Amino acid sequence: PGLDTCAAPAFTPQEKDSLTSMISADGFPTVSSVSAIADKVGADIVRCADDSSSSSSGSTVVSFAAFPGLHILPGFLTPEEQRELAVMCLEEFPEPPSHSNHTVHLGPLQGLWGAARSGLRLHPPRKGEK
């Protein structure tokens, strides 16, 4: 209750197999697999303005218009760096006793997904506001 749901695009079993086969052997998405998935779901593919990498995997950002704030950066982190970041997100960043980074000072979070899809953003409390 309070959260909007979003229907995922429908994939046929053959499309699922095809998309799965585009994932690299180590289980991490490649630029071509993310691009193919982005085409399927109607995503916008954006090139980074600051591309200091000679590798094409370091120069693609996929943003999903239907999901504001969701960006996929294939090849930017090694699998080990991804694991380290995931562990930090679960163990270091949340403030006890919370199990996530959503804290009471952000206010009620009901309808957060709908608000984000409507373009609303969280802001620090204004003077005199709780």
Handedness of CA 69, 74, 78, 80 (dihedral sign): positive
pTM exceeds 0.85 = no
* 62-to-110, 120, 122 alpha-carbon distances in Å: 28, 22, 24
75 in helix, strand or coil?
coil
Q: Give the pLDDT of the chain (130 residues) as one tens digit per residue.
A: 333 333 344 556 665 555 455 555 555 566 666 667 777 766 666 655 444 554 444 466 766 666 666 677 777 788 788 788 877 877 777 666 666 666 666 666 566 667 777 877 666 667 776 6
Nearest to 24 by CA among 65, 102, 96, 78: 78
Q: What distance in Å separates the CA atoms of residue 64 and residue 44, rounded to the nearest whole number?
A: 6
